Amino acid sequence: MRFKSLLILASLVLLFIDFSYCQLSEKKERYPIHFGIQTKLILPSDFLGPIKTALSKEGFQSNLTQIPGLSYGALVRADFTKNVTLECGINYIQRHFNAEMTYSDSTVTVSDTNKLTFINYEFPITGIIKIQLAKNLYSLVGLGTSFTFKPTSVALVDLPGGNHIFYHSGSVKKFGVDLNAQVGFELRTKKSGYFYIGGGVKVPTAYIFNWGGKYTQQGSSEALIDFKKANGAFLSIDLRYYLPNIRNSGVQFSKGPVE
């Protein structure tokens, strides 16, 4: 399933590359087009919402805590004016979580830990305002939205020993919408391209998955179950590189009346 998802991502990236270069050849004088790549370090923060999802049912306790993750993808930017840019793209987002679970009663205490990786794809559209600070240095502020696709649900099964069983699952809605903001600095060179460093904020408009936990014992029909909604908001450190627009040094075709 992951191979198919990566194949889809690669195909879409190639489409963006083809689109960007086609537009570059047709409209480079009026609306310059830039193709770029980016990577993000995901930094969960309680400032945007709880990074921990806690489950509790009698003697059953479980915590799911978001930890740093990673995102990368491709971008296409169109400069409409010197100060206004529209950017779109496709990103692969990989969130990581630590799962801790415990069951305790008057006769026994058992616990276990595990790790969970949750992936989704996003298609961001961002409006960007640029302010020139020096000859080749710009400050950028952006605001936009992302359409997200979550290919699969997630689950964990833990057997800490004996007849004890912990089971966790996260059910997802396949499609969602996120709100994005960004601020950063960009160094521009004609020959080497554009280099960007900045920070970002991502806030889903709904929970990323409905997290459920269960404790039971083998051979028993009784179970302790609880559900909570997991928040996936995060801060990020963003690095981007945009390819330089290289004009053809050969004979140029000038549009005009046929003689």
The C-alpha atoms of residue 147 and residue 153 are separated, in whole angstroms, by 18
Residue type, 67: I
Identify the residue whose tokens are 């008057």: 106
Domains of the chain: 2-242 (2.40.160.20)
pLDDT of residue 28: 47
Q: Give every CB contact of residue 181 below 8 A, 6+ residues apart in sequence.
A: 142, 143, 200, 201
∠ at Cα 109 (106, 112), nearest 5°? 160
4, exposed or middle or buried, with CB in 10 Å at 0-12, 13-18, 19+?
exposed
Pairing relationship of beta strands 137-149 and 109-132 according to DSSP bridges? antiparallel
pTM over 0.95: no
| Positions of E strands within 45-174 | 52-57, 60-79, 84-104, 109-132, 137-149, 154-161, 164-171
The C-alpha atoms of residue 87 and residue 130 are separated, in whole angstroms, by 12
Low-confidence ranges of the chain (pLDDT < 50): 1-3, 6-7, 10, 14, 17, 20-21, 23-28, 249-253, 259
pLDDT of residue 82: 86
pLDDT of residue 29: 53
pLDDT of residue 26: 46
